[in-house]
Chain A
Amino acid sequence: MTNTFSYHVSESGFYGEFGGAFIPEMLYANVEEIRTKYLDIISEPAFQEEFNHLLRDYVGRPSPLYRAETLSRKYGANIYLKREDLNHTGAHKINNTIGQILLAKRLGKKRIIAETGAGQHGVATATVCALMGLECIVYMGAVDIVRQAPNVARMQMLGASVVPAESGSKTLKDATNEAIRDWINNAETTHYIIGSAIGPHPYPDMVTRFQAIVSEEIQWQLKEKTGKDHPDYVIACVGGGSNAAGAFYHFLHDDRVRLILAEAAGKGIDSGHSAATSILGTKGIIHGCMTLLMQTSDGQIVEPYSLSAGLDYPGIGPMHAHLIKSGRASVYAATDDEAMMAVIELSRSEGIIPALETAHALAILDKMTFKKDENVVISLSGRGDKDLNTYIKYLEDHQIPL
């Protein structure tokens, strides 16, 4: 039965009708090892101590909660930015890779693999592998290697091997396929650090738990600033959904908090070039979990499009699929152009250049209305350094003066 009263994962690995572990037998032993051990490992005091120490002294947590004055004036509400962009490596991704590398060490794994889209998760994985002295192989779509060149260089600088995924659309979905195939081939030695709240159970829950620090900090930071321990809105962009999962986690069962997801509409939802999974997707299986995904009536997975390499994933994490279907979360979509306008606006009004993924969460503010004095928290999931080439080219192509 669907338990609509819990938004957490069930004992059997489901969020309502979504989730589960639909994996070939070749992966069963690995996934089962993690499933049976992850909760025990991450609740060990020694694990918690090491995790919290690294988050504080290595990542630089807590990340600030910053009231954006210009945006607040413009939208007539208190707009707070949760500055995950200020983390070491420049995005929220590092929260999860710190957690998973500590887990991998306790599982006795010597080799780490990861997939990456925009390269942020790849960089975060390469970073923790360098820190812990473990071999690191990152799969990245050949197309993304071109559009996110600075991050490729960073991963290589950190000692990781970046392997291009040449199959399919040569983007995030295909990088994930290649990583899974590597894991099948190297099951005993290798831990696969999935970067988003996707994949077979327990990955979505494990990644969400490691990212939950974001909403935990929002709670006490907002209380310090406003006296209230909950915002009226939390807004986050969603591809697979790790950033949104972390920003939502401690508010999932707090009905006072409206949870808002920003999807990538690409060139427009009906343009045929979009990554708006919640609208264009139907129920099915991708990368081992039941969720909403973009597919043909024949069950072939469709290649999504977004200018942003971190959001062009044809699926969405199963927790988010459940939040959307049950009405707990609302979804707005922002196009490439709307996201680009938000990039320019934040850069010039607040002095913060956001990642292109993050800009989708800023872009949907124009589609919403707020009451005066409402507190709105936007997860500023990443910084835009990696996107500068894309930004400059966009400005030139659209003849927007620099």
Chain B
Amino acid sequence: MKSIRQTIKDKGANVLNVYFTAGHPTLESTPDIISLLAKCGADLIELGMPYSDPLADGPTIQKSSETALRNGQTTRHLFEQVRSARKQCSIPVILMGYYNQMLQYGIPEFLQEAHAAGIQGLIIPDMPMDVYERDYKKLFENNEIEISFLITPMTSEERIHQADRLSSAFVYIVSQSSITGKQGGISEKQIEYFQKIKNMKLASPSLIGFGIHDKESRSIANEYSQGAIVGSAFIRALDGKGELAEKVSNFMEQL
């Protein structure tokens, strides 16, 4: 199966990474949503591991996490869901979760199981870069699990270079200093920040996320990086009425 890095390289531009919370709206829907997204043109899937205390997430992802946990979603389910999706499609899957969830599973076991289930990458927003480099980098590489680190408008240049060096999948450009799910236009200040990152000519590809929710914001993300990450907007679409397949294809069309 193709790596995340290779998938982005091959496409070169306009990459679309779609996020949703595993186990939302139902446990059974997760493998179907993965393959529907793949069929409708997503390049990468970012699967959220629902967490009781998602510090960096806004109300939409918080609510979807609560639903998923109420549905009984666990880390073990998640591996099963990806395994099941793998029977239908080969789109790269990235897990996004909080450090504590992986810590309690056991990091070596988690990486092994993730790889065995057909997962390509991880995003762990609250795992410090130096902890990764010191304790886990080798382990990730041995299990062929790629990682992405986040940068924000407040990240220093030194740390941007560190994130660039350590991200084996892509650098995750957080579009603004905020939690997930903010709607509204992209400001001049944000454009300046995107331009600054673009001018740095990072060695890793980068994708822009947080607040990307329509054609306009997506095209800006495409202009300043290799593509966009869409999350809360898709979850809101899933929460709407109608057949799952229809909701996914309608959402992808208006993006």
Of A167, A285, A286, A297, which is within 8 A of B62 by CB? A167
Q: Which residues of B contact A167 (CB under 8 A)?
A: 62, 66
Q: Which residues of B contact A22 (CB under 8 A)?
A: 99, 126-128
Per the bound structure, the CA–CA distance linking A21 and B75 in Å amounts to: 24
- CB pair A26–B75 under 8 Å, yes or no, is no
Per the bound structure, the CA–CA distance linking A177 and B126 in Å amounts to: 14
The secondary-structure label for the interface of chain B is: loop
B58 at the interface (CB under 8 A from A): yes
Q: Which residues of B contact A282 (CB under 8 A)?
A: 104
* A25/B103 contact (C-beta < 8 A), A168-B52, A184-B56, A300-B51 known: no
- CB pair B177–A185 under 8 Å, yes or no, is yes
Per the bound structure, the CA–CA distance linking A180 and B174 in Å amounts to: 17
- CB pair B52–A300 under 8 Å, yes or no, is yes
B125-183 CB contacts (< 8 Å) to partner A = 125-128, 149-152, 154-156, 159, 174, 177-179
* A299/B104 contact (C-beta < 8 A), A26-B174, A167-B62, A288-B126 known: yes
- CB pair A187–B154 under 8 Å, yes or no, is yes
Of A20, A21, A28, A299, which is within 8 A of B155 by CB? A28
Per the bound structure, the CA–CA distance linking A285 and B51 in Å amounts to: 12
Q: Which residues of B contact A285 (CB under 8 A)?
A: 98-100, 103, 126
Return the CB mask of A156-190 against B: 1 if under 8 Å, else 0: 00000000000110000100010011001101100
Per the bound structure, the CA–CA distance linking A30 and B159 in Å amounts to: 14
- CB pair A284–B125 under 8 Å, yes or no, is no
- CB pair A184–B179 under 8 Å, yes or no, is yes
Give the residue name and chain of the A residue nearest to B74 (CB): A298
How many Cβ-Cβ contacts under 8 Å join chain A to chain B?
104
* A295/B100 contact (C-beta < 8 A), A21-B128, A24-B150 known: yes
Chain A CB within 10 A, most for which of B125, B128, B156, B177: B177
Of B58, B103, B174, which is within 8 A of A299 by CB? B103
Per the bound structure, the CA–CA distance linking A21 and B125 in Å amounts to: 12
- CB pair A185–B128 under 8 Å, yes or no, is no
A15-36 CB contacts (< 8 Å) to partner B = 20-26, 28-30
Q: What is the number of residues of chain B that contact chain A, defined by CB distance less than 8 Å?
A: 35
Per the bound structure, the CA–CA distance linking A287 and B128 in Å amounts to: 14
Per the bound structure, the CA–CA distance linking A191 and B96 in Å amounts to: 28
- CB pair A28–B177 under 8 Å, yes or no, is no
Q: Which residues of A contact B62 (CB under 8 A)?
A: 167
Chain B CB within 10 A, most for which of A30, A177, A180, A181: A181
* A177/B53 contact (C-beta < 8 A), A285-B99, A285-B100 known: yes
Per the bound structure, the CA–CA distance linking A25 and B159 in Å amounts to: 10
Per the bound structure, the CA–CA distance linking A22 and B159 in Å amounts to: 16
Give, as a whole number of angstroms, the nearest-CB distance from A308 to chain B. Answer: 21
- CB pair A295–B179 under 8 Å, yes or no, is no
- CB pair B155–A185 under 8 Å, yes or no, is no
- CB pair A23–B178 under 8 Å, yes or no, is no
Per the bound structure, the CA–CA distance linking A26 and B151 in Å amounts to: 8
A222 at the interface (CB under 8 A from B): no
Q: Which residues of B contact A173 (CB under 8 A)?
A: 53
Q: Which residues of B contact A21 (CB under 8 A)?
A: 128
Give the residue name and chain of the A residue nearest to B163 (CB): A25
A283-325 CB contacts (< 8 Å) to partner B = 284-288, 295, 297-301
B55 at the interface (CB under 8 A from A): yes
Of B98, B101, B151, which is within 8 A of A25 by CB? B151
Give, as a whole number of angstroms, the nearest-CB distance from A6 to chain B. Answer: 22
Return the CB mask of A184-212 against B: 1 if under 8 Å, else 0: 11011000000000000000000000000
- CB pair A26–B177 under 8 Å, yes or no, is yes
Return the CB mask of B43-74 against A: 1 if under 8 Å, else 0: 00000000111011010001000100100001
Give the residue name and chain of the B residue nearest to A282 (CB): B104
- CB pair A298–B126 under 8 Å, yes or no, is no
Give, as a whole number of angstroms, the nearest-CB distance from A283 to chain B. Answer: 8
B85-116 CB contacts (< 8 Å) to partner A = 98-105
Q: Which residues of A contact B66 (CB under 8 A)?
A: 167-168
Give, as a whole number of angstroms, the nearest-CB distance from A353 to chain B. Answer: 34
Give the residue name and chain of the A residue nearest to B73 (CB): A298
Give, as a whole number of angstroms, the nearest-CB distance from B64 to chain A. Answer: 12
- CB pair A284–B100 under 8 Å, yes or no, is yes
Of A23, A25, A177, A188, which is within 8 A of B149 by CB? A25
Q: Which residues of A contact B56 (CB under 8 A)?
A: 24, 26, 181, 184
Q: Which residues of B contact A188 (CB under 8 A)?
A: 154, 177
* A28/B159 contact (C-beta < 8 A), A284-B100, A285-B100, A297-B104 known: yes
Q: Add 10 more A-B contacts to A284-B100, A285-B103, A299-B98 (CB < 8 A).
A: A24-B126, A25-B149, A25-B150, A26-B56, A28-B154, A28-B155, A185-B177, A187-B177, A295-B104, A301-B52
A-B pairs with the 7 shortest C-beta distances?
Answer: A299-B104, A29-B154, A24-B125, A299-B101, A25-B150, A285-B100, A300-B52
A-B contact pairs, 17 of them (CB 8 A): A22-B99, A22-B126, A25-B150, A25-B151, A26-B152, A28-B152, A29-B154, A177-B55, A185-B178, A188-B154, A286-B53, A299-B103, A299-B104, A300-B51, A300-B52, A300-B69, A301-B52
A residues at B contact (CB < 8 Å): 20-26, 28-30, 167-168, 173, 177, 180-181, 184-185, 187-188, 282, 284-288, 295, 297-301
B residues at A contact (CB < 8 Å): 51-53, 55-56, 58, 62, 66, 69, 74-75, 98-105, 125-128, 149-152, 154-156, 159, 174, 177-179
